[in-house]
A = this chain, B = another copy of it.
Amino acid sequence: MRKSKFLVFSGSAHPKLGESICHYLNMDIGKVYFGRFPDGEIDIKVNSDVRGADVFVVQSVCPPVNENLMELLILIDCLKRASAERITAVIPYYGYARKDRKDEGRVPITAKLVADLLTTAGTNRVLTLDLHADQIQGFFDIPVDHLLARAIFIPYLNNMQIKKLSVVSPDIGSVKQASAYAKRLGAELAVTSKKRDFNTGQIVSMNVLGDVADKNVVIVDDMISTAGTIAEAARLVKAKGALDIYLCATHAVLCKDAVEQLRNCPAKEIIVSNSIPVPLEKLLPNMTVLSLGPYLGEAIRRINNSESVSYLFEHPVESCIMPQKEQM
C-alpha cells in the first residue's frame, strides 16, 4: 500500500542521529517544537502536517532516561491525536532494558512497563537495536523489528584482519552475544567469571574460562555503563597473557567514572555505536563511534516501503557497511 506521506521525527535525546537518518533518506526531518513550561513540564507542538502519514519517531531512551522516555510518550500521544496513520517508535537504545525480569521478590519489570506505556501512548510498531535480552520483543503485541549492531560491527572488525582472535565475554550474562561474534569472526570464545562467596557476596576469585594467552582479544558486551566490568575483564585477560585488546559495545552509556576506567584499561581500541550520543569530552582518542544512521535509515525505508527488514540482520546494504567516525 502506498502511503502518501512519510515523515521522520527526532526527539531531543539525540538530534544528530535523526539528522543522519534523514540524510541517508534524503529527506527533511519533521518539524516539532520542544519546550518546557516554567515548572519543567514538557511542551510539544508538531509543526509538520502528519494527518494520514506514516510517521517514525527516533528517540533513544538514554540518560536522562525518564525525561527522554516521557518526551517520547508525549510526542507519540501528540502524533496519534494529530491523526498520523501509523507511528513507529525508533528506539536505538531501549532504556530500563536490564529490568526485564523479577530476579527477586517485589521488584518491578520496568522493561515490560515501558513496553506497555509505549503501546498505551499510541505506538503502532517498534524498531530497536541490540535489546539487552531478545525476549523483550515478546513484551510487545505490536510488531517489533530488532536490528543487530553486529551487522555493522562485524564488517568493521573483519576489515581489521586481526589474527589469532579470541572473543571474550566480560561476564556470564553476556556470553551469548560474545558467542555470536565468535561464530561470525571465526574466533575462539572465552568468558571471564567472578566467583563470589554466596553469603557475603564478596569476590573470592576471578578467572578466565577459555584461552586468551597469546591471543588478540575482542571483549564484547551490549553496553558500557560504568565500564567497571569491561575494564576489569581487560586487565584480567592482559594479566593472562593477551596481546592486543579491543573493547566492543553497542551502547555507550558511559556514566559515573566510565571514561576514567576506559582511559586506564589496557585497550587498544574501543568501538561503540552512536545509539547514544557520545559528547566530545567523553570521546577518548582510541574510541571509534560507528554511525547507525544509514543502517537505521535503510530499515526505516524498508518498513515504510513494506520491504523485508530481516534481510538487514546479516546482509546490511552497501551504504551501511562502511563504518564511519561520527562527525562531532
Residues of A bordering B, CB below 8 Å:
1-5, 37-42, 44-47, 49-53, 62-67, 69-70, 73-75, 77-78, 80-83, 85, 95-96, 98-113, 116-117, 119-122, 125, 133-139, 141, 143-146, 172-173, 175-176, 179, 182-184, 186, 188-191, 193, 195-196, 198, 207, 209-210, 225-226, 253, 255-256, 302-303, 306-311, 313
Q: Is the CB of A107 within 8 A of B133?
A: no
Q: Is the CB of B105 within 8 A of A310?
A: yes
Interface centre among A120, A137, A138 (most CB of B within 10 A): A138
Q: How far, in whole Å, are A49 and B144 apart by their CA atoms in the complex?
A: 16
Q: How far, in whole Å, are A96 and B83 apart by their CA atoms in the complex?
A: 22
What copy number does this chain have within its complex? 6
Q: Which B residues touch A112, using CB under 8 A?
A: 77, 138-139, 141
Q: Which B residues touch A85, using CB under 8 A?
A: 1, 306
Q: How far, in whole Å, are A106 and B303 apart by their CA atoms in the complex?
A: 14
Q: How far, in whole Å, are A50 and B306 apart by their CA atoms in the complex?
A: 8
Q: Which B residues touch A82, using CB under 8 A?
A: 105-106, 143
Q: Is the CB of B191 within 8 A of A138?
A: no
Query: A164 to nearest B CB, angstroms?
Result: 15
